[in-house]
Amino acid sequence: MTNFGTSFTAVVRTTPENHASGVLIRAVTDLGGVVAGIDVVEPGHEEVTLELTCFLGGDDVDRRLEEALNAINDCHVEVVMDSVMLIHVGGKLEIQATVPMDNRVELARAYTPGVARVCLAIAADPALARELTIKRNTVAVVTDGSAVLGLGDLGPEASMPVMEGKAALFKRFADIDAWPIALDTNDVDEIVRTVQLIAPGFGGINLEDISAPRCFEIERRLRETLTIPVMHDDQHGTAVVVLAALKNAARYVKKDFANLRIVMVGAGAAGAAVTTLLMKAGVKDVVVFDSKGPLHAGRTFDDPDKAALASRTNPRGISGTLPEAMVDADVFIGVSQPNLITAEDVSRMAKDAIVFALSNPTPEIDPVEAHKHAAVVATGRSDYPNQINNVLAFPGIFRGMLDCGAHIITDEVLVAAANAIADVVTDDRLSAAYIIPSVFDDAVAPAVAAAVALAASK
């Protein structure tokens, strides 16, 4: 499948005849790609230099494209450039001064000797740091690189492009200055202590891509010891957006939200948080599956968090297979791995079934197959309707927490954020293909921030 989020540009020397004949275009289409444009860089009677830009998916794209073009007579590829790699050259962030320093007077105010007065004021009253430094609008995006996207433990250096992207999203959607902090340790005590040590310079901590179950303890300990908001986005950001989408999906199919029967696959960070928040919002019947089957009171667990989750879920004591549990279920939510269920499984669900297949990039079921029997389908992908995307939640949540000066992110705060996201989709906009607003809807972050500030202030 062609990935239209990735483009490649090949610089090619060839003949004008090859350019005119369309042979270059055919070489790309034979690879399953789409040509976006061919621009002449250097014209000539006997040879031209072209920049051919195309969308092309799969592995080793640059190599395959180069080989296909070089196979054409009188055609030579000088270089193939990956657009994704190009925009990452030098990183995606920078720091800019907010005050002028163009003469001695301005410099004396912004730095020495004037800055000494500000330091002494904060020393006398540390709370002034929120007013007189970047602390009031700065979030640290902290990771150890142990659970990067769906790619696993890639380490701190390889996590940086994701952390930079997260910081860029904070700025784009909530005007928050965030900075990536990649830690070269997987030790819980070291991570907790390091974040505690850097916390004075930040107004909030966004934990990211830290594997379960360590992420649970890290978040718990930091929330207990820090006086700034701390949130593990893989848990709570996902949970907030799932709750918002499910409320609207239930509204669309005209089912009582509290009485939904839900089958959840995935008992890690995201699955546990989604389940907890759904139940906080009123759902009573959730059956959670991990790799060994459904969680229930009769199982024994080495992980105390999983044992606690089992004690709160599965009220009917289901102990069978996943397809068996899906019979007559209203909702399937997957935050696990690709291709777990089939269209036949969905066909056995209750009438007007809801399927959230959120494994990314390959869902638990092909959305087209799920749509054969489900009334509403959501995924984690941007090329299908109803994308469950954390960017709908975390910018507004931190914006609201920073604005009101609160630091405890309670379940009530998270439910308020979900309700705000859901309410952006009014009755006249609600449909099977639109249960959740677009990430580019400018109404979302301010609505979430206002709801969060109100709930946190209480």
Domains and CATH numbers, the chain: 7-88 (3.30.70.260), 104-228 (3.40.50.10380), 231-458 (3.40.50.720)
The one-character DSSP state at 261 is E
Helix (H) or strand (E) holding 55: strand 48-55
| Contact indicator for 383, 409 with CB cutoff of 8 Å | no
* 233: nearest Cα among 355, 10, 393, 366: 393
Whose structure tokens read 């990452």? Answer: 88
**279: its two tokens:** 């139940």
pLDDT digits (tens, 9 = 90+) for 53-88: 998 877 788 899 999 999 999 999 999 998 888 888
| Contact indicator for 354, 250 with CB cutoff of 8 Å | yes
- 447/458 Cα distance (integer angstroms): 17
CA dihedral of 58, 60, 64, 67, whole degrees rounded to 10: 180
| Contact indicator for 262, 333 with CB cutoff of 8 Å | yes
Is beta strand 48-55 parallel, antiparallel or unpaired with respect to 7-14? antiparallel
Can you give the pLDDT at residue 390? 93
Mean pLDDT of the chain: 92
Q: Which amino acid is at 395?
A: P
- 410/241 Cα distance (integer angstroms): 16
Catalytic position from the list 111, 284, 372, 458: 111
Can you give the pLDDT at residue 58? 76
Name the least confident of 9-13, 90-94, 166-170, 256-260: 90-94
Q: What is the mean pLDDT of residues 166-178?
A: 95
Residue 26 has pLDDT above 80, yes or no: yes
Q: How confident is the model at residue 45 (pLDDT cuts 50, 70, 90)?
A: confident
Can you give the pLDDT at residue 2? 42
**384 belongs to the catalytic site:** no
Give one word for 263, left, alpha or beta, with left for phi > 0 and alpha for psi -120 to 50: beta
Share of residues in the chain with pLDDT > 70 (%): 99
Residue 370 has pLDDT above 60, yes or no: yes
Catalytic position from the list 92, 135, 166, 351: 166
Name the least confident of 149-163, 247-261, 322-336, 407-421: 149-163
CA-CA distances (angstroms) from residue 58 to 20, 32, 81, 176, 326? 28, 9, 15, 35, 33
Q: What is the mean pLDDT of residues 302-323?
A: 90
Coil, strand or helix at 258: helix
Share of residues in the chain with pLDDT > 90 (%): 75
Can you give the pLDDT at residue 357? 95
Residue 297 has pLDDT above 90, yes or no: no
Can you give the pLDDT at residue 440? 92
Q: What is the mean pLDDT of residues 123-146?
A: 94
Coil, strand or helix at 431: strand
Can you give the pLDDT at residue 4? 47
- 398/171 Cα distance (integer angstroms): 11
Q: How confident is the model at residue 250 (pLDDT cuts 50, 70, 90)?
A: very high
Please enumerate in sequence order all residues whose Cβ is within 8 A of that of 191, keeping only pairs 6 or more positions apart, or say none. Answer: 142, 144, 183, 185, 210, 214, 218
**255 belongs to the catalytic site:** no
